[in-house]
C-alpha cells in the first residue's frame, strides 16, 4: 500500500487493543494485506442479532459519553485545546466499528465503530463460539505496531487502518477513489420469516464487509444458507461479471475466469477437480495408485469397472467372486440412476456406467444400513493442505437391511441417500438440533459415541478415514496441480469443499464411495442447519476472504492487469534452491538433527515460501471446527513415499515425474518445507502445530456446540387464497375460451406447479392408481429432460408398497427438478398478441390449487390442441392431442397418452428386456 495512504501511526498498545476488539476481522489489522473476514453462526439468530445491536448501541453511547467526559476532564486539567471526537478518532477507540440499529439516525463517526459485542475469549476460534481470539500473526519480518497508519475513507465513512506495504509504496498509488454508491442488496430470506429485511439491514450494513464493499457471486447454484450467511455478514451480491471477491459456483469453473483472478479473489473450486469428483475418474486415479504403489496401500474403494469398455474384465471378476454389483451413472449424484444387479448380464451395454462391487456387510445402526458424509476442505494442492471437518452426517436407510437378493430392488434399504429416503413414509427427521442420534440422520460424533459404547475402536476408525481421504486426494492431486500451475495466477485463489461419501463395513473398514463436487448445503432439519451453518461459517473464515477496501482492490486490479499484460498469467514458482536445499537439509539432519535442519531451512526460505508458511499458520489459527489432517507431524513419514522426492508433488504416473514438473525454473518442495517448519522440534515462537492424533480424535468425538440457537425455519408456505384462486381460474378459463393462449413458459410453469401438487399428494397420501399413472408417464417421458430420469428396475414397481411409493416420488421429484431447470430457458416476460398477459397469469399461479391448475391445463389442451408444456410448438414429433376428460384428475389420467411410445420411450425400452429375464430365483447376497 502506498505510503501516501498512510497517516501518522498510533501507539503499539492501541494496535494490540484494536486487534483484540475487532471480532469480524482476523489475521491482521483491518486494511492490512493479511486481514480476512470472520464468519460466525450466532448472528444467524435474529434474537442474538437484536441483542448484539442493542448492546452495541448502548456501548456506543457509553463510549461517546466517556469520550466527552474525558475531553472535558482534559480540558479542565490542562490548558490544551479541547479534545473533540474527531481528534480522538485517531486513537484506539476510533478503530472500533459499532453495530448501530438505525444507522441513519446516528452520528457518522459512531457509525464507523464496531465494538466487541462478545467477550468470551477462547483459545481456539470456532464459528460456534460467540467470540474470536485473533490468533493471526503479524508478518515475521515486519513490525506492524510501528508502521500502521490510519486511512480515512470519508466517502463511505470507513476508517481503515493500513499496515504499511512496501510494495505499494513503490507503485506510488495514492488516489482515494470515491467509494461506490451502494444500495442494500440484502434480501429477506425465504427460509427465515423472522429475518425481515430490517434484520438484514440492521446487521449487514454495519459489518466491515459491507463497508468494504466485499461482494460474492453465485454461479449455477443457489444455497440459501450461504446467501444468508453472506448477507448477515455484510457481503453483497456482485453486480458485474468479474468484480466479485468470492465466486461460489455449483459447477466446474471456466478457465477464463480462473486465469484472470486477482490476488484478493477467491473461488470455491480448483481446476480439474473432476479428477476427484467424477466417479469413473476417481476410481481410475485410485486404481493407478494401486498398480503403482501397491494394492495394500490403496485398497480404499470397492473394485469397480467402467462399462462398456471394461465389460470383459467385469465378467472375469464376476466369475471369480460372484456379485452383486451396484451400477451407477458415471456423472450423477443423489442416488439417481443407481441400481443393484446380481450378474453383469443384467447391465445395459450401451451406456457409460461405473459398476462397483456391492459391499454386502455394511455397518448397521439398529439394523439399518448407514453411510457417512464427511466434509473435506482442500485449501492448496501444492503444498497439500487438507482439513476434515470435525462433524459429519450419518445417513440411515429407512428400511431395515436384509441381505436377501429379493430385496435388491429396494433403494430405501440399500441406498442411504437422503434424497431417496426422505420420500419414504417411515422416514424420521429429528426435530431438535440436540437430537443427534434420532431418526434417519445422525451426526458423526453421535455415531462415534454410539460405537464406543459398543466397545468399537473408534480411534482406529477415524484414523482410517483420515488415511482414506489423504490417499484419495494424493491419487488425484497430480493432475490438479499441473492445472493450477497453468491457470491459477495466485496461490490462494482456489479452495474446495468436497463431500466424501464413505461406507463403513461391519469390520469397521471405511470404503470410499464417491467424492461430491458441491456437497449439498440444503437443510431439512435443525440438526442439518446446525452442522451446515457451522461448517460454512468455519469454512469461510478458514479460507479467508481478504478484508480489502475498494481502494486496495483497485490498486491490485491495476497492478494485476499491468502484470498480466506484461507476462503470462502462469504462476511461476520463485526461483528456489529447492533440490540443493532439500539435500542440504537432509545432510544437516544427519549431522545436527531435525531442529538444526529446520532452522537452516527456515533461514533460507524464499519470499514465496515465507508467504506459504505464514498463510498456512494464519489459516490454521482460523480453522474453527476444521481438523488439519495433512500435514501432521507424521504425514511425511506416512505419505512421503508417495511424493516426488525433489518436488514433493504426489506422483501417480511413473512417466510424468520427469515430464510435467520439470520446468526451467529451479524446483521447490513446498510439502517438505512446510513439514520442516511446522513440526520441527524448535518451531520458535510459533510452537508446533497442535493437530496431534490425540487432539484430532478428541475433536471428532465431541458434539458440535453452538452458543446461540441457529434458527431452522421451514420454507414458508405461500399463503394461497382458495377463493381468489377460483376467481382467477374463471378469468383464465374465459380468456382461453375466447382464444387466448398460454406461452410456452406459462404452460411449463403451470405444469411444474401441477406436478408439484401431485408429488405432495403422493408423499402425504399415496394412491396406487396415481402412482401407476405417474410411472407410466415418466417411463415414456422421463428421458426428455436433461439429465434423463429413468428407472430401470421396472419389475420392482409392480408391487405396491411404501418403498415403491418412495421410489415413484423420488422419480417424480428428479423429473420436476430437471423440468424446472429446462423451463428457465423459456423465460419470457413480454406480453405477446393473443397470449395471456403475464402479470395476470402470475396472479393466477400465485393462488392456484391443484384443481385450478388442472382446469386450466385441460381447457387449454382441449381448445388449442397443443401441449406446450411437453413439446415445442414447432416440434416435429408432436403426437396428436388426446381428448382430456373433464372432472377431477382427468388431466392426470390422460397424461400418459399425451406422450408417444416412440422417441424418449425407445431410450427406455432397451432396459426392459433384461429385467424381464431378471433372475427370479432367491439368491442370498
| Interacting residues with ligand ADP (CB under 6 A) | 302, 326, 328, 332-336, 338, 356-359, 371, 415-417, 501, 503, 513-514
Record the cell numbers describing residue 65, joined without a space.
Answer: 459519553
* 488, 258 Cβ separation under 8 angstroms: yes
In Å, how far are 836, 837, 838, 874 from 832, measured between CA atoms?
8, 8, 9, 17
Q: Tell which residue, 39, 2, 44, has the closest CA to residue 24.
A: 39
Q: Report the chain's C-alpha Rg in angstroms.
A: 30
Count helices and strands (H / E) in the chain.
Answer: 33, 20
- What is the rounded CA–CA span in Å between residue 41 and residue 591? 50
Please say which residue, 392 or 868, places its beta carbon nearer to ligand ADP: 392
For the chain, the first-to-last Cα distance in angstroms comes to: 67
* 505, 465 Cβ separation under 8 angstroms: no
Q: Whole-number minimum distance, CB 57 to ligand ADP, in Å?
A: 48
Q: Whole-number minimum distance, CB 301 to ligand ADP, in Å?
A: 8
Residue ranges with strand state E in 40-148: none
Q: Whole-number minimum distance, CB 703 to ligand ADP, in Å?
A: 24
Please say which residue, 150 or 469, places its beta carbon nearer to ligand ADP: 469
* Residue 669 preceded by cis peptide, ω within 30: no
Q: Whole-number minimum distance, CB 412 to ligand ADP, in Å?
A: 11
Please say which residue, 343 or 849, places its beta carbon nearer to ligand ADP: 343
Q: Whole-number minimum distance, CB 502 to ligand ADP, in Å?
A: 9
Q: Tell which residue, 133, 83, 89, has the closest CA to residue 109.
A: 89
Sign of CA dihedral 902, 905, 910, 912: negative
Please say which residue, 24 or 283, places its beta carbon nearer to ligand ADP: 283
- What is the rounded CA–CA span in Å between residue 330 and residue 333? 9
Q: Whole-number minimum distance, CB 787 to ligand ADP, in Å?
A: 12
Q: Whole-number minimum distance, CB 433 to ligand ADP, in Å?
A: 24
Please say which residue, 569 or 923, places its beta carbon nearer to ligand ADP: 923
Other residues' Cβ atoms within 10 Å of the Cβ of residue 82 = 9
Q: Tell which residue, 757, 873, 755, 775, has the closest CA to residue 819.
A: 755
Sign of CA dihedral 522, 620, 266, 570: negative
Please say which residue, 328 or 748, places its beta carbon nearer to ligand ADP: 328
Scored b (16 or more CB within 10 A) or e, 517-528 reads bbbbbebebbbb
Q: Whole-number minimum distance, CB 371 to ligand ADP, in Å?
A: 4
Q: Whole-number minimum distance, CB 353 to ligand ADP, in Å?
A: 12
* 231, 200 Cβ separation under 8 angstroms: yes
Q: Whole-number minimum distance, CB 396 to ligand ADP, in Å?
A: 10
Please say which residue, 67 or 368, places its beta carbon nearer to ligand ADP: 368
| Residue 129 DSSP SS3 | coil
Which helix (H) or strand (E) element contains residue 364? strand 364-365
The full DSSP string for 643-656 is B-TTT--B--STTH
Please say which residue, 368 or 748, places its beta carbon nearer to ligand ADP: 368
DSSP 212: T
Record the cell numbers describing residue 304, joined without a space.
Answer: 469397480
Q: Whole-number minimum distance, CB 509 to ligand ADP, in Å?
A: 12
Length of the chain: 925
Please say which residue, 633 or 817, places its beta carbon nearer to ligand ADP: 817
| Residue 115 DSSP SS3 | coil
Q: Whole-number minimum distance, CB 535 to ligand ADP, in Å?
A: 19
In Å, how far are 64, 73, 76, 713 from 79, measured between CA atoms?
22, 11, 7, 60
Please say which residue, 337 or 526, places its beta carbon nearer to ligand ADP: 337
Residue 831, burial from CB neighbour count under 10 angstroms (0-12, 13-18, 19+): middle
Cα 321 to its chain centre, rounded Å, is: 39
Please say which residue, 501 or 850, places its beta carbon nearer to ligand ADP: 501
CA 27-30-33 angle, 5° bins: 65
Q: Whole-number minimum distance, CB 429 to ligand ADP, in Å?
A: 18
Q: Whole-number minimum distance, CB 515 to ligand ADP, in Å?
A: 9
Q: Whole-number minimum distance, CB 300 to ligand ADP, in Å?
A: 12
Q: Whole-number minimum distance, CB 479 to ligand ADP, in Å?
A: 21
Please say which residue, 338 or 388, places its beta carbon nearer to ligand ADP: 338
- What is the rounded CA–CA span in Å between residue 46 and residue 194? 7
Residue 780, burial from CB neighbour count under 10 angstroms (0-12, 13-18, 19+): buried
Helix axes 850-864, 838-847, angle to 10 degrees: 140
Q: Whole-number minimum distance, CB 222 to ligand ADP, in Å?
A: 20
Please say which residue, 330 or 569, places its beta carbon nearer to ligand ADP: 330
Please say which residue, 506 or 909, places its beta carbon nearer to ligand ADP: 506
- What is the rounded CA–CA span in Å between residue 539 and residue 706? 16
Please say which residue, 267 or 314, places its beta carbon nearer to ligand ADP: 314
Helix then strand then coil, in percent of the chain rounded to 5, is 45, 10, 45
Please say which residue, 238 or 412, places its beta carbon nearer to ligand ADP: 412
Helix axes 670-679, 607-621, angle to 10 degrees: 60
Please say which residue, 520 or 849, places its beta carbon nearer to ligand ADP: 520
* 559, 170 Cβ separation under 8 angstroms: no
Which helix (H) or strand (E) element contains residue 9? none
Please say which residue, 43 or 413, places its beta carbon nearer to ligand ADP: 413
Residue 642, burial from CB neighbour count under 10 angstroms (0-12, 13-18, 19+): buried
Q: Whole-number minimum distance, CB 762 to ligand ADP, in Å?
A: 22
- What is the rounded CA–CA span in Å between residue 298 and residue 471? 7
Amino acid at each position: 500500500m502506498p505510503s501516501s495512504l498512510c497517516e501518522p501511526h498510533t501507539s503499539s498498545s492501541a494496535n494490540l487493543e484494536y486487534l483484540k476488539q475487532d471480532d469480524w476481522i482476523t489475521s491482521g489489522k483491518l486494511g492490512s494485506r493479511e486481514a480476512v473476514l470472520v464468519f460466525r453462526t450466532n448472528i444467524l439468530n435474529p434474537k442474538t442479532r437484536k441483542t448484539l445491536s442493542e448492546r452495541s448501541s448502548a456501548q456506543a453511547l457509553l463510549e461517546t459519553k466517556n469520550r466527552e467526559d474525558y475531553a472535558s476532564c482534559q480540558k479542565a486539567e490542562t490548558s490544551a485545546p479541547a479534545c473533540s471526537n474527531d481528534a480522538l478518532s485517531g486513537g484506539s477507540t476510533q478503530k472500533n466499528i459499532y453495530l448501530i440499529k438505525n444507522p441513519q439516525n446516528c452520528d457518522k463517526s459512531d457509525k464507523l465503530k464496531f465494538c466487541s459485542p462478545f467477550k468470551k475469549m477462547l483459545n481456539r476460534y470456532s464459528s460456534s463460539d460467540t467470540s474470536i481470539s485473533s490468533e493471526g500473526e503479524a508478518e515475521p519480518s515486519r513490525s506492524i505496531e510501528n508502521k500502521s497508519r490510519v486511512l480515512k475513507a470519508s466517502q463511505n465513512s470507513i476508517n481503515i487502518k493500513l499496515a504499511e506495504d512496501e510494495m505499494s509504496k513503490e507503485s506510488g498509488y495514492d488516489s482515494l477513489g470515491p467509494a461506490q454508491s451502494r444500495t442494500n442488496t440484502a434480501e429477506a430470506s425465504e427460509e427465515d420469516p423472522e429475518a425481515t429485511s430490517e434484520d438484514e439491514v440492521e446487521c449487514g450494513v454495519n459489518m466491515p464487509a459491507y463497508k468494504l464493499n466485499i461482494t460474492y457471486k453465485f454461479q449455477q447454484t443457489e444455497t440459501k444458507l450461504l446467501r444468508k450467511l453472506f448477507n448477515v455478514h455484510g457481503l453483497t451480491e456482485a453486480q458485474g461479471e468479474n468484480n466479485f471477491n468470492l465466486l461460489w459456483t455449483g459447477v466446474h469453473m471456466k478457465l477464463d475466469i480462473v486465469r484472470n483472478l486477482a490476488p484478493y479473489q477467491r473461488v470455491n473450486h480448483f481446476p480439474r477437480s473432476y479428477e476427484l469428483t467424477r466417479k469413473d475418474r476417481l476410481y481410475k486415479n485410485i486404481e493407478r495408485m494401486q498398480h503403482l504403489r501397491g494394492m495394500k496401500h490403496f485398497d480404499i474403494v470397492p473394485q469397480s469397472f467402467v462399462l462398456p469398455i471394461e465389460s470383459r474384465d467385469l465378467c472375469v471378476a464376476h466369475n471369480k467372486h460372484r456379485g452383486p454389483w451396484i451400477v451407477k451413472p458415471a456423472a450423477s449424484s443423489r442416488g439417481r440412476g443407481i441400481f443393484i444387479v446380481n450378474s453383469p448380464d443384467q447391465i445395459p451395454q450401451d451406456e457409460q456406467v461405473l459398476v462397483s462391487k456391492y459391499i454386502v456387510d455394511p455397518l448397521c445402526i439398529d439394523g439399518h444400513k448407514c453411510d457417512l458424509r464427511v466434509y473435506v476442505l482442500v485449501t492448496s494442492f501444492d503444498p497439500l493442505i487438507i482439513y476434515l471437518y470435525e462433524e459429519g452426517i450419518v445417513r440411515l436407510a429407512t428400511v431395515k437391511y436384509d441381505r436377501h437378493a429379493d430385496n435388491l430392488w429396494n433403494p430405501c434399504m440399500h441406498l442411504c441417500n437422503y434424497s431417496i429416503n426422505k420420500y419414504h413414509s417411515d422416514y424420521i427427521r429429528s426435530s431438535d438440533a440436540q437430537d443427534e442420534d434420532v431418526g434417519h440422520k445422525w451426526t458423526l460424533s453421535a455415531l462415534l459415541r454410539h460405537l464406543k459404547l459398543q466397545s468399537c475402536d473408534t480411534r482406529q476408525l477415524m484414523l482410517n478415514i483420515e488415511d482414506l481421504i489423504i490417499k484419495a486426494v494424493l491419487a488425484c492431486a497430480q493432475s490438479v496441480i499441473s492445472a493450477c500451475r497453468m491457470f491459477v495466477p495466485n496461490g490462494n485463489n482456489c479452495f474446495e469443499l468436497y463431500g466424501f461419501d464413505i461406507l463403513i463395513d461391519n469390520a469397521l473398514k471405511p470404503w470410499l464411495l464417491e467424492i461430491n463436487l458441491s456437497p449439498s448445503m440444503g437443510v431439512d432439519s435443525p440438526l442439518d442447519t446446525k452442522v451446515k451453518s457451522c461448517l460454512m461459517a468455519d469454512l469461510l473464515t478458514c479460507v479467508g476472504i481478504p478484508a480489502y477496501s475498494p481502494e486496495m482492490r483497485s490498486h491490485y486490479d491495476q497492478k494485476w492487469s499491468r502484470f498480466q499484460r506484461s507476462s503470462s498469467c502462469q504462476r511461476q514458482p520463485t526461483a528456489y534452491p529447492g533440490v540443493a536445499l532439500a539435500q542440504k537439509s537432509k545432510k544437516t539432519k544427519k549431522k545436527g538433527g531435525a531442529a538444526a535442519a529446520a532452522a537452516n531451512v527456515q533461514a533460507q526460505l524464499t519470499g514465496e515460501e515465507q508467504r506459504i508458511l505464514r498463510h498456512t499458520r494464519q489459516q490454521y489459527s482460523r480453522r474453527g471446527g476444521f481438523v488439519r489432517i495433512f500435514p501432521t507431524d507424521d504425514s511425511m513419514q506416512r505419505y512421503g513415499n508417495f511424493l516426488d522426492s525433489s518436488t514433493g508433488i504426489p506422483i501417480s504416473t511413473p512417466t510424468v515425474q520427469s515430464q510435467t514438473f520439470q520446468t526451467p525454473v529451479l524446483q521447490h518442495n513446498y510439502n517438505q518445507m512446510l513439514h520442516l517448519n511446522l513440526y520441527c522440534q524448535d518451531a520458535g515462537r510459533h510452537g508446533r502445530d497442535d493437530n496431534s492424533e490425540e487432539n484430532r480424535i478428541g475433536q471428532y468425538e465431541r458434539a458440535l456446540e453452538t452458543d446461540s440457537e441457529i434458527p431452522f425455519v421451514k420454507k414458508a408456505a405461500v399463503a394461497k387464497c382458495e377463493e381468489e384462486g377460483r376467481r382467477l381460474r374463471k378469468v383464465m378459463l374465459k380468456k382461453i375460451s375466447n382464444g387466448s393462449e398460454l406461452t410456452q413458459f406459462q404452460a411449463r410453469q403451470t405444469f411444474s406447479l401441477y406436478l408439484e401438487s401431485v408429488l405432495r399428494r403422493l408423499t402425504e397420501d399415496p394412491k396406487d392408481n396415481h402412482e401407476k399413472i405417474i410411472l407410466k408417464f415418466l417411463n415414456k417421458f422421463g428421458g426428455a429432460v436433461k439429465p434423463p430420469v429413468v428407472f430401470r428396475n421396472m419389475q420392482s414397481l409392480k408391487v405396491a408398497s411404501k418403498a415403491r411409493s418412495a421410489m415413484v416420488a423420488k422419480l417424480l421429484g428428479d423429473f420436476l427438478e430437471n423440468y424446472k431447470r429446462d423451463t428457465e430457458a423459456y423465460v419470457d416476460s413480454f406480453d405477446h398478441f393473443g397470449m395471456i398477459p403475464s402479470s395476470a397469469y402470475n396472479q393466477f399461479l400465485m393462488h392456484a390449487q391443484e384443481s385450478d391448475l388442472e382446469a386450466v391445463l385441460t381447457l387449454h389442451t382441449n381448445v388449442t390442441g397443443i401441449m406446450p408444456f411437453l413439446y415445442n410448438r414447432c416440434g416435429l414429433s408432436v403426437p396428436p392431442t388426446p381428448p382430456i376428460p373433464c372432472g377431477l384428475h382427468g388431466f392426470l389420467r390422460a397424461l400418459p397418452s399425451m406422450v408417444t411410445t416412440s422417441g424418449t420411450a425407445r431410450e427406455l425400452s432397451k432396459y426392459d428386456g433384461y429385467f424381464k429375464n431378471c433372475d427370479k430365483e432367491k439368491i442370498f447376497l
